[in-house]
Structure 1
Amino acid sequence: MVQSIERILFVEVRGSQRIEPDTIRSYMTIKPGDLYNEEVVDQSLKILFNTGLFADVAIRYENSGLIVFVVENPIINRVDFEGNKALKTDKFEEEVELRPRSVYTRSKVQADVQRLVELYRRSGRFSAKIEPKVIRQPQNRVDLIFEISEGPTTGVSSVNFLGNKKFKDRKLKGKLVTQESKWWKFFSSEDSYDPDKLAYDREQLRKFYLDEGYADFQVISAIAELTKDGSNFIITYVLDEGIEYKFGEATIKSSLPNMDTDTLLPLIDHRKGNKYKATDIDSSIDNITFAVGEDGYASADVRPRVKRNKEEAIIDIVYIIEEGPRVYIETVNINQNTRTRDEVIRRELRVLEGDAYNKVLIDRSETKIKSLGYFKEVEVNVRPGSTEDRMIVDFDVEEQPTGELSIGAGFSSAESLLLEIGISERNLLGRGQSIKFNIANSERRKQFEIGFTQPYFLGRRMSAGFDIFHIDNDYRRYSSYRSMQSGASLRAVWPMSDFSNLSVFYRYFQEEVSSYLFDSGYNLADDYNADKSEIGYSYVIDTRDDYIDTTSGWTFSFGQDLAGLLGDSEYIRSTTGGKYYYEIAQNWVLNVGANAGYVYNYSNKKLRINDRFFKGGTTFRGFDRAGVGPKELITDRPRGAEFFAIGTIELTVPIGLPDEFGLKTAIFSDFGIIGKNDDTNRVLSNQQAQQILSDIDDPFYDLNAVINSDYSSLNDACAIDSVGLNEKYGTLCTRFVDDATFRATVGITLNWNSPFGPIRFDIGRDVASEDYDDAKFFRFSGGTRF
């Protein structure tokens, strides 16, 4: 027993190899000259253990001094991973804390094992096992090997709901990210279990019900149970739907001076009697906040006061506007943009240093940055500034790859097999510029294209760019010609609002047309080689809620092309169109649309065949491509129209299958008129007529047998006796037909978002047509990128 009154004369360290004794002594709380104290010695012992530098430590009092015995932990020589295939090694290296030249400890190894196990669980592999293996090396070094047995992906065998009365299970399953494991989902990762997705899915269910009128909805519990064999999870959601509400009265109260609340009422996105939707309240708050901010009250606070009437299932909303504290933005910081330049991000901001704090504009800035597509994550953090009335806004971004090498494959009844190779970069050198290179090849289309786009051209809110292209379109199966175009174009786009834009372009190219009718004897020399110069514009409005799975909104477009300046063709082409979408019931979406076009030839030159409109296929379902409109009967080839007006009515209907099948079907009717063609004035010479007749498999055909000696030419003969000649020799005199009569089709469209890419099937039947139209009962198309 050491007497506590004895003084320590020295502290000696034994066993150290890499660590200097003075460093070890500096960790200790007891020093030479101190009186010996058991508690202080124990405290020093704990401190040395807690450094993680030592595998063992002992302290002994001897000859009026302390002897410190240490066994140093080894240094890690290398860290390796074996057996991993599903996850790459670089992911592990980012996750683990142990690195080469760091100190090895068992606790750190176990912590890293847990990190790796969690990484596998997040990727859906709950049966993964990781065993650390330590290999001793000279000089107190070790190699650390993590031996990994990944195991199979842990799927989701079933997703169940309890308490849902209004919506069926398959409807709710379609709102979840987590999907049930099915054999056809071999390309999908959404059927693997992830606990983080479970929390996200709870929120998705809540949002769905709140937008369907169920303001009291709650997810009571979400339980994931592992099956006995450990291969799958069974997920069960217990729901309390509550009752369905409608909106009642909506009013606005304001404490702001000189604020006329009546002028703000139109900004409320819901009306009395409408189904309750939480998103309508959110958008109304944004609208009011933005409008009040424009009136000089940027710090105004808009809060909804909700009053439920459960007996009548009505919710009244009072929007309360109060003057918030005057707060200004001191600094706007852009963080973690390692590649994208600051100015590329800042030009998307709707707030600047010195502006009054406005949450709506900050949220819009976040949305604008996300829409760039340059970042994997965008997070906004607001923190206090140097004074109480100052705030600092941080936009934290995480860069993601913006270059793409794509190989595409597609197929259709019109194009057969389509192959496509493309290289693109959406954020060139971090400047926000985009460049693309694309090659496409199919039986009927060959295309080469290079394009460049500069956003915010000359510092303005507009984008500008150019394209260089070569396009070879072979339309001889459907029409009368083959077209090869080589040229370049300049373009610019101005955003007019969040939902509309105006674009202008200039295009110059050389075009070579090979006409089928020339081979059969027609003199169509003006249909051949030409230089084309076009300038044009288009205005587009698009308010759709979703570009792919649209349920509401509308679109409108109008554009004109003027050809003639420095070119051989002279015309004005005008096109317009629009669509309206309305969800009449759950999964029942009505789509009504129309489009029209007209080509005006303002010169005495004939309008070239490829300057006209060809309709059919996807543009007029139920007819073959270019299968409806003016036609040359001798060769049975379409000649194109100068005018068209086509309408469509389409109703998307549920087919009773779960949403994860990716199948959507619609019934449709397309209808309209296509007509007007100036080819009707063309005539045949005797030599050309003889060439046409010689194509008929009858050696006795002779032009002299066709026309009487009284006629100087076939044209004269047809002018006098076209009926008789047509009866005897088919359509020799009736060369063109252009009835411009009403056509209509009905049919069914099936869209399948398959594991291989989107596939579309169209089944259509003509109910109003002409005898010479080409009907097409079935069409399909599809493709993928990888």
Structure 2
Amino acid sequence: MFSPILRRRFQNTGTEASSSLIHGWFLAIFTILCLSIPTDASAQTYRFTSVQIEGNQRVEAGTILTYAGIARGETVSAGDVNDAYQRILGSGLFETVSVEPQGSRLVIRVTEYPTINKVAFEGNKRLKDEDLAGFIESTSRQVFSPTKAERDAAVIVEAYEQNGRVNARVTPRIIRRSDNRVDLVFEIFEGRLTEVNRIGFVGNRDYSDRRLRRVIDSKQAGLLRALIGRDTFVEDRVEFDKQLLTDFYQSRGYIDFRVTGTNAELARERDAYFVTFNIQEGQQFRFGEISTVSDYEGADADDYQAVLKIKPGVVYSPTLVENSIARMERLAVSQGLDFMRVEPRITRNDRDLTLDVEFVLTRGPRVFVERIDIEGNTTTLDRVIRRQFDTVEGDPFNPRAIRESAERIRALNYFSNSSVDAREGSRPDQVVIDVDVEETTTGTLSFGVSYSTNGGVGLNAGFSERNFLGRGQTLSANVSASSDNAQYSLAFSEPAFLGRDVEFGFISSLTETQGETNEPFDTILGAFRPSLTFPVSENGRLALYYHASYGEMDDYFGQFRDDPTTVPIEPNGILATEATQGGLFSSGLGYNYTYDTRRTGLDPNSGVLLSFGQEFAGLGGDREYVKSTARIIGQTRVLNEEVTLRATLEGGALNFFNGQESRAIERFNDQIIRGFEPNGMGPVEGTEHLGGDFFAALKFEAEFPLGLPEEYGISGGAFYDIGAIWGVDTTNAVGPVASTGFKDRHVVGVSLFWESPFGPLRMNFSQALKKEPGDIEQTFDLTVRSEF
């Protein structure tokens, strides 16, 4: 007999033994099964005696077999079959691919990508279809590729980003057509312009944000943002702005200036950027001691020192150093000293903030220009680009001269992009100059409507081409007409006449008027003037010209006519007498000399423009006279270049000979000072203004900011003008003639300047402080702003 406890232990032991036996049998069976199943797919092999390809229409079966890489009768593994599938699919020729082993036969089924029937764009307004088509790779009659379509969509997005639309989205979609064709449609969401809402600067001490914003090309979004393109954010433009800032500061002696970084933050709404330039101005340096030494045999250092124009104490500028080197090298060429190089050695004096410059005359390497290769010009002739080089094939190579030529090519404004690089030629002592340009539009066609209180509504049309027939010539034509006048003009210029630095040009014009308010007679004025203009010094140019003109006064209807409805038997008054002379011809020669230091002066903030000319008539024709005019303008910027001060002095004299007297259409009668109407001051008979044989004017003006946001483009000004017109023959006078002698007028006023999308406009509000009886005041006038 077993006790209950022993009985339970026995039973448990039996159960555990049975369970262990069952587990052992299962483990053995599982091991056998695992050993019977291949653990490596590559262990299974195939041997295909035939390969069947299905579904291909355009792609040859042999091409598919080449991608597969499986030959008939070759033993291959399952992994090789999978690799064949991946290669066929990776060719980009098929939309779907399947590779199925069927015994000794391999079946490859493919679905080819469709052919593009046409490419279309939907939703685009800012960029035209033809422009977008030029960006993408996908074209009609091409096999559709999803990868290429996605790549094209990204290119289109980038094009919109370059136009300031960073929110643009492009989705490529296909529309199935018959015969395995599709239409590829790019659905475009252009989004709003991403504007530059604010431009700021950090680290500037000497120049205000307002001044620096005028330096850079990027602009803040203004009132007329829909018409101004420069207020959109373009990353490449910001990089260009950094260079503009560097040039600005370095030209003013800040040699340590650098832009430490830029930060462009996108607003939460993704419709505006906040751009910040982090800068370090450094200290302003001036020229210290200027000296010249010669290591070149035959070059006298004193001769080269004498041609320098920079003096100690002048604000340092790399441009002045470059101009000095150019001046020295030109002297070397004139002395027959080839390969002479001028090396500026600069010594920095931090104690007194000066830079000593020692110009060292050395012999450069004997390297010649082998040839000049020009590419990219489809319209512009090679010779137009080539004449910007002072260097020709066979000349000594001068890197500085090549850089100057590159600047002249860019200054033509014929090209949207240009580059000039030098590389080694066929021999180590020769170089090839590569010029690569990208042309842009150079012609304009304009139509407009004008209105004046005197002439009423007028229409005008104009044509201008700066690169006529790709020859670098300028051709312009204009026609304007209103109810009582018509004007026609034609102008042409050739900047390199006979291949030399001589500009040939001509201007012809015809004007017809019918009794305007201040002219009680009809006129016909015709002029033709060919000219030759050439440099006579670094800053001076001389123009020589021939002039032929015709002037006719007729149909006088002024105040001294006995009966305005009939032609009087005898003329009454000065203008009436002059009108009876009919048409008169004049012919003669003239010259005009201009001296301009604005681009090459020592001070980037100051400049002088001097102009003097004389016109001699008597070379045939009916008139004999000498007409002299002179003008001098000086300008400077003060208060950290925030305020511009300008003074102008001008005058003229008209002298007739052999008993002849001037007529109203020949005398000075334009608006010489503000505050008076054209032909509204000077000698007057009764109520008829006569003009004068002499005039003089002295004008002072200032331009300054008004504290308004720069994006408005509005600034202010103030002026004070003094002027007079006098001198007229009174022999035929009927009524009293006033102001025949010098009587100065004084005018004070304020101006508003607006950099509008239509051009720089100027509004003058003036008040005459001193005037004479008969003068016609003009308290407000709107003109196109002219830059000095």
Give the shorter-chain TM-score range. Answer: 0.7 to 0.9
Q: Deviations over 1:445-487 (max 9, x none)?
A: 4212234445544555444455553202467533554422246
Shift of 1:36: 5.3
Alignment of 1:648-727 (within 5 A): 648-678=699-729, 680-682=730-732
Q: SS of 1:183's equivalent? A: coil
Given that 1:569 and 1:607 are in contact with CA atoms closer than 8 Å, whether structure 2 keeps it comes out as: no
Q: After TM superposition, list the pairs within 5 Å mapping 1:540-555 onto structure 2.
A: 540-543=593-596, 545=598, 551-555=605-609
Superposed displacement of residue 117, structure 1: 0.9
Give yes or no for contact 1:412–1:779 (8 Å, CA) kept in 2: no
**Cross-structure match for 1:688:** none
**Partner residue of 1:694?**
none
Q: Which deviates further from its counterpart, 551-560 or 111-120?
A: 551-560
Which has the higher mean CA deviation after the structures are superposed, 152-161 or 62-71? Answer: 62-71
Q: Is 1:642 aligned with 2:644?
A: no
Taking a change above 3 Å as real, the CA distance of residues 453 and 203 of structure 1, as seen in their structure-2 partners, is closer
State the one-letter code of the partner of 1:578: I
Aligned partners of 1:238, 1:458: CA distance in 2, in Å?
51
Q: Do residues 313 (structure 1) and 353 (structure 2) align?
A: yes
Which of 503, 506, 522 is the equivalent residue of 2:547? 506
Letter of the aligned partner of 2:315 in structure 1?
A: K
- Separation (CA, whole Å) in 2 of partners of 1:348 and 1:332: 12
In structure 2, the CA distance between the partners of 1:128 and 1:297, relative to structure 1 (3 Å rule), is farther
The reply to whether residue 623 of structure 1 matches residue 676 of structure 2 is: yes
Q: Which residue of 2 aligns with 1:341?
A: 381
Q: Residue type of the partner of 2:587? A: E
Question: Please, which moves more after superposition, 70-79 or 7-16?
Answer: 7-16
Structure 1 residues 238 and 354 mapped into 2: Cα distance closer, same or farther (>3 Å)? same
Cα gap change, 1:46 to 1:279, in 2 (>3 Å) = farther
1:610 to 665, 672, 693: 665
Deviations 1:411-467 (A, max 9, x none): 667766554211233333333444333112356642122344455445554444555
Gaps of 5+ in 2: 1-40, 563-570
Find the aligned partners of 2:88 and 2:343 in 1 and give their Cα distance: 57
- Cα distance per residue 1:80-114 (max 9 Å; x no partner): 10010111111211111111122322221111111
SS at match of 1:562: strand
- Say whether 1:106 aligns with 2:159: no
2:651 maps to a residue whose letter is A
The equivalent of 1:722 in structure 2 is: none
Find the residue that maps to 1:316 and give its secondary structure: strand
* Equivalent residue letter for 2:552: E
1:613 CA displacement: 1.3
Shift of 1:228: 1.4
**In structure 2, do the counterparts of structure 1 residues 737 and 744 end up closer, same or farther at CA, with 3 Å as the change threshold?**
closer
Taking a change above 3 Å as real, the CA distance of residues 130 and 390 of structure 1, as seen in their structure-2 partners, is same
Q: Distance in 1 between matches of 2:77 and 2:393?
A: 60
Alpha-carbon distance between aligned partners in 2 of 1:672 and 1:389, rounded to the nearest angstrom: 64
Letter in 2 for 1:471: T
Measure, in 2, the Cα distance between the counterparts of 1:430 and 1:653: 42
Structure 1 gaps of 5+ residues are 685-731
What is the number of equivalent residue pairs in this alignment? 729
- When residues 641 and 77 of structure 1 are mapped into structure 2, their CA distance, relative to the original with a 3 A threshold, is same
Question: Are 2:782 and 1:741 equivalent residues in the alignment?
Answer: no
Cα distance, 1:62–1:371 mapped onto 2, change above 3 Å: same
Structure 1 stretch displaced more, 218-227 or 167-176? 167-176
Kept after mapping to 1: 8 A contact 2:254/2:284? yes
* Structural mapping, 1:367-766, within 5 Å: 367-410=407-450, 419-442=459-482, 445-473=485-513, 476-486=516-526, 488-496=528-536, 499=539, 500-509=541-550, 511-515=552-556, 516=558, 519=561, 522=572, 524-528=576-580, 529-543=582-596, 545=598, 551-585=605-639, 586-615=641-670, 617=671, 619-632=672-685, 635-678=686-729, 680-682=730-732, 734-735=736-737, 737-766=739-768
Give yes or no for the alignment of 1:325 onto 2:365.
yes
- Residue 304 of structure 2 aligns to a residue in which SS? helix
Counterparts of 2:365 and 2:317 in 1: how far apart (Å)?
Answer: 30
Equivalent AA in structure 2 for residue 596 of structure 1: G
Mark the CA change 1:583 to 1:7 in structure 2 (over 3 Å): closer, same or farther.
Answer: same
Shift in Å, 1:77: 1.7
Q: Distance in 2 between matches of 1:415 and 1:92?
A: 47
Displacement after TM superposition at 1:145 (Å): 0.4
Assess, with a 3 A threshold, how the Cα gap between structure 1 residues 276 and 43 changes in structure 2: closer, same or farther. farther
Per-residue CA deviations over 1:48-103 (Å, capped at 9, x if unaligned) read: 55543233456677777876554433222211100101111112111111111223
**CA drift at 1:537:** 2.4
- Secondary structure of 1:519's counterpart equals coil
Structure index of larger Rg: 2
- Name the residue aligned to 1:183: 223
Q: What does residue range 227-376 of structure 1 map to in structure 2 within 5 Å?
A: 227-265=267-305, 270-292=310-332, 295-296=335-336, 299-376=339-416
TM-score for the superposition, normalised by structure 2: 0.83
Residues 563-585 of structure 1, C-alpha deviations (whole Å, 9 max, x = no match): 34443333222222222223344
Shift of 1:121: 0.9
| CA deviation string 1:166-211 (max 9, x = no partner) | 3222222222222222334342112211111222222222222223
After superposition, give the CA deviation of every residue in 1:151-174 in whole Å (9 maximum; x if it has no partner).
111112222322223322222222
User: Match for 2:363: what amino acid?
Assistant: E
Give the distance between the partners of 2:537 and 2:52, measured in 1 at CA.
78
TM-score scaled by structure 1? 0.83
Q: What amino acid is aligned across from residue 630 of structure 2 in structure 1? A: T
CA distance in 1 between counterparts of 2:740 and 2:268 reads 72
Note the C-alpha offset of 1:18: 0.8
User: Where does residue 779 of structure 1 map in the other structure?
Assistant: 781
Measured against aligned partners, the alpha-carbon deviations of 1:377-417 in whole angstroms (never above 9, x if no partner) come to 22212222111112111222222223321023456677665
| Deviation (angstroms), 1:559 | 2.4
Structure 1 range deviating more: 745-754 or 411-420:
411-420
CA distance in 2, matches of 1:772, 1:526: 21
Partners of 1:159 and 1:180 within 8 A in 2: yes
Q: Secondary structure at the match of 2:155?
A: helix
Counterparts in 2 of 1:271 and 1:462: CA distance versus 1, 3 Å: closer
| Corresponding residue number in structure 1 for 2:5 | none
Letter in 2 for 1:653: F
8 A contact 2:625–2:656 mirrored in 1: yes
Distance 1:472 1:16, change over 3 A: same
The answer on whether the counterparts of 2:615 and 2:628 sit within 8 Å (CA) in structure 1 is yes
> For structure 1, which segment, 388-397 or 19-28, has the greater mean C-alpha deviation from structure 2 after superposition?
19-28
Work out whether residues 631 and 648 of structure 2, in 8 Å CA contact, stay in contact via their aligned partners in 1: yes
Q: Which residue identity lines up with residue 440 of structure 2 in the other structure?
A: Q
Quote the RMSD (CA, aligned, Å). 3.5
Contact 2:590 2:616 in 1 (8 A): no
Mapped to 2, the partners of 1:150 and 1:263 lie a distance apart of 64
Q: Secondary structure at the match of 2:215?
A: coil
- Whether contact under 8 Å (1:171, 1:658) holds in the other structure is no
Distance 2:587 2:465 in 1: 28
Distance 1:563 1:657 in 2: 52
- Separation of aligned partners in 2, 1:130 and 1:167: 43
Amino acid at match of 1:506: H
Residues 709-742 of structure 1 show CA distances to partners (whole Å, capped at 9, x for unaligned) of xxxxxxxxxxxxxxxxxxxxxxx5x345512234
Distance 2:287 2:383 in 1: 44
Q: Kindly provide the amino acid, as one letter, of the partner of residue 626 in structure 2.
A: I
Q: Distance between the aligned counterparts of 1:467 and 1:250, measured in 2?
A: 47
